[in-house]
Amino acid sequence: MNDELPSYDHAVSRDHWNLVARYIRSRDLCAAVLVCKEWYRILQPHLWGSPASHFGIANDAAYIALTRFKRTLSWASLSTRLLTHTLRLPPAHAEMYGGPHSDWLRDVLERLPRLQALIVRAVPFFDHSALHTVRVPSSKIQGFFRNVPPSYSLRLLDASATPNATSSGLATLLRHLKGLVYLDLSRTLAAKDVTVFESLRELSSLRILKLRQLGLRDEDISTIAQAVRTRVASLDLRENRITDIGVGTLIQHCIPPGRHSSEPHLYLSTSHAQNPWRGKASLDTEVARTLTTRTVGPLAIEEDQNSGISEVYMSNNPITPDSVTALLEQDLRVLDVGSVNTRNNLPSTITRPSPDDPTNHTPPASHPITHALSPTTPSRLRSLRIHHTLITTNTNNRTSLHPSHLPHLPHLHTLTLTNIPPTSPDSSISTTLIRLIESCAAKLQKAQLEATSTYTLPPGRNRALAEAEYAASQFALEHIVLELADEDEDGDEDGVKARGQNAADPRSDADDTWTQNKQHGMSSATQDPDSDALWRAAANDFSFFGADDTAAPPPLASRQRIKHPLLSSSPEHATIDTVAVLSAFRRERRAVFVDAEAEARRKGGVVGYVCGYWPGEIRVVRGVGSAGGGQRGGGYGGGW
């Protein structure tokens, strides 16, 4: 950001009311601003900065508050309206009240000149009529846009899961939002249209694009890649139908060649003075937090338009390890390939193009994954999410990956392994994970020894801090996340369910409608939201049975949990609990380290190397499922 440095008086002053204002209830906040001018100056930005946060979440309360707020904008002073930077509308079902007038979106964009973020996730009245009203300005300001189309200052738009948006309406709105930096159209089915993709060409400031769970195919990726080129820094394409061909298209159009040998762009630089995003695991999260917290100037990521993609989210797509290798070689910052097809070919329904075909953008398969993670390959990868089979499968082919290769990523901060079975018939998975922990411990010890013996660090009281920073620059891994598979899954080692392989067939549009609807969370084969709502409402409704009827069988999940006592105690069906084995190993190594530390303290020495002891965090996540988390919930109120 290019914000000016604060003055000395502003830096040393302690404004306690400004700190506690965020914890005051809305009703008390409205009363407090009327006490005096000083309180008004301090508390008014908290009241008008994100006014929709005071609306409530109930349908009637939210709709009434929205109507009053829209009416208030017509007579509120300009200085007050300039304080609003975020408008986060709740998903209130306003159709029971007739809904707001179609000009609500245009009025909000016109009367809030410094509105940075508009979050309309799952809002039903973000519809065709509201989207098309932005084409023509209102009568009050029509004189300012006599020959020029209106343009608005919005920089973040979250229109994910909007059921009533249309393709033409979205394309019309995007043409009037030239300054968009963050765009989220995930789970909005109307966004899967060529007109919407082509409108991305005009967004010169776009850096973060989320198109999750839209059923995108390789031909759609080709249109998107040619529209955004190298402007986008973070691209979220999870839960789509993209194959190796689409990945190759992204690499060709959205990542400049030879980027690993060039100077790092601004938000990937190692200097903290030049890089406000240094140390942040996710660029999209930090940009969204910045734009929804306060009014800010130009961001650092907006200055460079040719750096290409640095964060790629491709999980739950039918891609192979060839694509994983190609992405690892692109010097990315964040890579999410949580599910891959570990076979060395595409699904049988996909025909691999000829190498001589000029339209073939399939990633080359000449180098194994181990080559992409070798010590000689430069990498700024900070977060990696991969399928566990890429390191726990003991094979000799090029898709296998030894745990000792992962510590060769010096900037890697978080490693996530997905679809780990909670139990296994043998100890191969737990043994491989233990080898990974031992390798991390050895690499950390080596980095610490190099830090204590180097002569490039300054002496004196800052020596300890300098040694810690130097060791972190050599080995930065602090978190290992183990995402366990569901108990009822079949343990598919390919990491791609049958639905993903069938969905990858570009010739099966007419045959896999049901599969597409299930991917998008719809149960109705007609893709009608009203029919789908009725379907879900009647899923567990057996009220038509009499009181004495017992037609409903017990749930399938409860029947699957019933096991025969002889089978559960049979040695032939004995299983190994992966988490229990890792926990026992960690506790034992921790106890050895504590004893060694106590002995070193008693002798006045330094604790030596304890094999297998790694002080990092290992977090176990259960119940993630194949589609991942974060489908709904939590985005309004407490982070809905």
- Rounded to the nearest 5°, which phi and psi values hold at 242? -95, 135
Give the chain's mean pLDDT.
Answer: 77
Dist. CA 326–CA 340, nearest whole Å = 13
- 555 exposure class (CB count in 10 Å sphere: 0-12, 13-18, 19+): exposed
The answer to whether the CB of 390 falls within 8 A of the CB of 321 is: yes
- 462 exposure class (CB count in 10 Å sphere: 0-12, 13-18, 19+): exposed
Q: Tell me, what's the pLDDT at 273?
A: 39
| Banded pLDDT at 55 (limits 50, 70, 90) | confident
Locate 230 and state its tokens.
């190298």
Percent of the chain with pLDDT over 70: 66
Greatest mean pLDDT range, 61-65, 350-354, 570-574: 61-65
How far lies 218's CA from each of 212, 286, 396, 405, in Å?
A: 14, 29, 31, 31
The answer to whether the CB of 191 falls within 8 A of the CB of 167 is: yes
Arithmetic mean of pLDDT, 156-181:
95
Dist. CA 336–CA 237, nearest whole Å = 10
pLDDT at 269 exceeding the cut of 50:
no
Other beta carbons within 10 Å of 592: 14
| Banded pLDDT at 530 (limits 50, 70, 90) | low
Q: At what angle do helices 218-228 and 244-254 cross, to 10 degrees?
A: 10
- Rounded to the nearest 5°, which phi and psi values hold at 482? -110, 110
Q: Tell me, what's the pLDDT at 635?
A: 41
Q: Tell me, what's the pLDDT at 586?
A: 95
Q: DSSP string covering 507-557, please?
A: T-TTT-HHHHHHHTT---TT--HHHHHHHHHTTT--TTS-TT---SPPPHH
Strands 156-158 and 117-119: parallel
Arithmetic mean of pLDDT, 496-512:
40
Specify the amino acid at residue 11. A
Q: Tell me, what's the pLDDT at 459?
A: 72
Poorest-pLDDT segment among 9-23, 191-205, 303-317, 522-536: 522-536
Q: Outline where 292-365 has alpha helix (H).
A: 321-328
| Banded pLDDT at 313 (limits 50, 70, 90) | very high
pLDDT at 367 exceeding the cut of 90:
no
Poorest-pLDDT segment among 50-59, 227-236, 453-462: 453-462
pLDDT at 350 exceeding the cut of 90:
no
Poorest-pLDDT segment among 20-29, 184-193, 459-468, 605-614: 459-468
Q: Tell me, what's the pLDDT at 633?
A: 37
pLDDT at 295 exceeding the cut of 60:
yes
Arithmetic mean of pLDDT, 631-639:
38
Q: Tell me, what's the pLDDT at 391?
A: 77
DSSP 5: P
Poorest-pLDDT segment among 167-176, 429-438, 517-526, 572-581: 517-526
Q: Tell me, what's the pLDDT at 537?
A: 67
How far lies 79's CA from each of 41, 50, 85, 111, 113, in Å?
A: 11, 15, 13, 11, 10
Q: Tell me, what's the pLDDT at 322?
A: 87
Secondary structure class of 581 (helix, strand, coil): helix
